[in-house]
Amino acid sequence: MKNGSIIILLCFIYFISEAQEFIPAQASGGRQQLKYFIEQELIYPETAIKSSSEGEVILFFSTDEKGKVTHTDFKIKLTPECDQETKRIFNMIEWEPASLRGIPVKDSGTFHMEFNIKKYNRLCKYRGYTAHLYPFEPKDTSGTVYQYRNLETAPHPIFTNNLISLAGYVAANLKYPEAAVKQNLSGVVKVGFIVETHGKISNVKIINSLGAGCNEEALRIVRMIKWMPGTVNRMAVRTRMSISINFSLDQNQDGNFTPIIKSSYGE
């Protein structure tokens, strides 16, 4: 009986080990970034609001070893308009492939979208808009993501003050984390993202991490910036970009450290 218990225990430990070595496919940037993106992107269909249609849409999907979506199918539908909005948002998401013991593998999962009118009204009040405004027309509807170097015109930040640069904007708004100052921590945080045709960003992720609150502060700043989208064939297109923010500390004569912030953008 004792030996049998040992065998069962070893099998259980082996099962846990196997499960821990499998990492399912996940949205680029992780769950938190995905949640933020959906909150910024969702437009509740007017027809669904007028008919008081509420509920959840669930989309089943499969990914290959590169994270590319190979199949989608609705598991639970709501209204044609809500289903379409769910699919529109899902198609904007890039996925990191699943892995088993560090090797990329195929995977499948479900994507959930909640449609709740009361929550949506609160969301619109918080974010300040009920529809996406496109600063450049016409726009490409193919969903193709272009590289920064392959554009006719590159995306550029839109500021209320035309005289301010990206570096000046970042320096004026970024707060050097206290934890980083105390640790005398310096370095570069590189944030990758896609500038969408409406000038907002998606698929935000940390490419080069620093820590001590610097990653979070860089993300906060990047989310604040509105963009004029890049163009190809005189159409606004989706563009893959990145921003690098250099956190550094300059020691004064009194021994205190003064934050120095530099930034650049491109690929």
168 three-class SS: helix
Quote the CA–CA distance of 83 and 147 in Å, as a whole number.
Answer: 30
Task: For 138-158, write each residue's pLDDT tens digit.
Answer: 999 999 999 999 999 999 999
Q: Looking at residues 24-42, what average pLDDT do you find?
A: 96
Instruction: Find the distance separating the first CA and the last CA of the chain, reported in whole Å.
Output: 62
Q: Is the pLDDT of residue 77 over 90?
A: yes
Least confident span in 7-11, 177-181, 249-253: 7-11
Q: Looking at residues 244-260, what average pLDDT do you find?
A: 69
Q: Looking at residues 32-56, what average pLDDT do you find?
A: 97
Q: Is the pLDDT of residue 48 over 50?
A: yes
φ/ψ of 248, rounded to 5, equals -145, 155
Supply the pLDDT for residue 266: 73
Q: Is the pLDDT of residue 106 over 70?
A: yes
Quote the CA–CA distance of 14 and 40 in Å, as a whole number.
Answer: 42
Q: Looking at residues 183-204, what average pLDDT do you find?
A: 95
The residue type found at 201 is I
Please tell me which residue, 5 or 188, carries the higher pLDDT value.
188
Confidence band of 245 (pLDDT split at 50, 70, 90): very high
Q: Looking at residues 40-58, what average pLDDT do you find?
A: 98
Q: Is the pLDDT of residue 32 over 60?
A: yes
217 three-class SS: helix
Q: Looking at residues 180-194, what average pLDDT do you find?
A: 92
Confidence band of 263 (pLDDT split at 50, 70, 90): low
> Would you state the structure tokens that stand for residue 39, as one six-digit string?
């909150």
Q: Is the pLDDT of residue 182 over 60?
A: yes
Please tell me which residue, 264 or 43, carries the higher pLDDT value.
43
Quote the CA–CA distance of 31 and 36 in Å, as a whole number.
Answer: 9
pTM > 0.85? yes
Supply the pLDDT for residue 163: 85
Domains and CATH numbers, the chain: 25-127 (3.30.2420.10), 145-266 (3.30.2420.10)
Q: Is the pLDDT of residue 13 over 80?
A: no
Decide: residue 233, CB within 10 A, 0-12 exposed, 13-18 middle, 19+ buried. exposed
